[in-house]
Amino acid sequence: MIVTAVHRAAAHTFAKTTTTSIRLIAGQGVDGDAHCGATVRHRSRVAKDPAQPNLRQVHLIHAELLDELHHRGFGVAPGQLGENITTRGIDLLALSAGTHLRIGDEVLIEVTGLRNPCHQIDDFMPGLLAAVLERGPDGIVVRKTGVMGIVVHGGTIEAGSPITLAHVPAHHIGLVPV
């Protein structure tokens, strides 16, 4: 399990710029990113209640999704879906809410829930929204665009940083959009 790329954007843009490293700040998110802060920073959520806690401080997407999209004809590069961290070798969507991911030697991220893809994905690339949503055998919508988390312990990470499961809740708590 490894970080393949890291990204940030100072402005509220759909895609984020790939960089050599990012610094995460406990209780805030990615230093220099528009979504960094203790309270919600996503514009649609700010409009509803600007005082709510920011459960979306950092966004992780598995590179395997990008591979799948390439096979389906969508040329999506790391960072273009707005993630801060692109991973490989970890099934992010199968994690329990409350799982702690250790990244590198310092960073600890608590998984809070799923990213809920919106119409902006189709604005970026027509047809992409349908490609990142599926229905499971039970009919429930499967959102494949990664997970969101909060920064428990900050530090610097870069491509190549290892990822380990630092804590997994005793009882699995299914991920829901946050």
Rounded Cα distance, 126 and 146, in Å: 19
Say which residue the tokens 């329990």 belong to: 96
Instruction: Give me 37's structure tokens.
Output: 């802060």
Between CA 158 and CA 140 the distance in angstroms is 35
DSSP state of 41: -
Q: Mean of the pLDDT values across residues 34-50?
A: 84
Question: What one-letter code names the amino acid at 151?
Answer: V
Q: Work out the mean pLDDT of the chain and round it to a whole number.
A: 95
Compute the radius of gyration of the chain from its Cα atoms: 15
The pTM (predicted TM-score) of the whole model is 0.96
| 1 contacts 164 by C-beta, under 8 angstroms | yes
Q: Over 80: is that where the pLDDT of 144 sits?
A: yes
| Band of pLDDT at residue 48, cut at 50, 70 and 90 | confident
Q: How far apart are CA 32 and CA 58, in angstroms?
A: 12
Q: Residue 47 has what pLDDT?
A: 75
Higher confidence at residue 44 or residue 34?
34
133 to 68, 118, 122, 155, 160: CA distances (angstroms):
12, 10, 12, 33, 29
Question: How far apart, in whole angstroms, are the C-alpha atoms of residue 32 and residue 17?
Answer: 11
The domains located in the chain, with CATH, are 2-167 (2.40.33.20)
Cα distance between residue 148 and residue 145, in whole Å: 10
State residue 119's pLDDT score.
Answer: 84
Q: Does the pLDDT value for residue 125 go beyond 90?
A: yes
SS3 readout for 64-132: HHHHHHHHCCCCCCCCCCCCCEEEECCCHHHCCCCCEEEECCCEEEEEEEECCCCCHHHHHCCCHHHHC
Q: Are 159 and 66 in contact (CB under 8 A)?
A: no
Sign of CA pseudo-dihedral 36, 43, 54, 150: negative
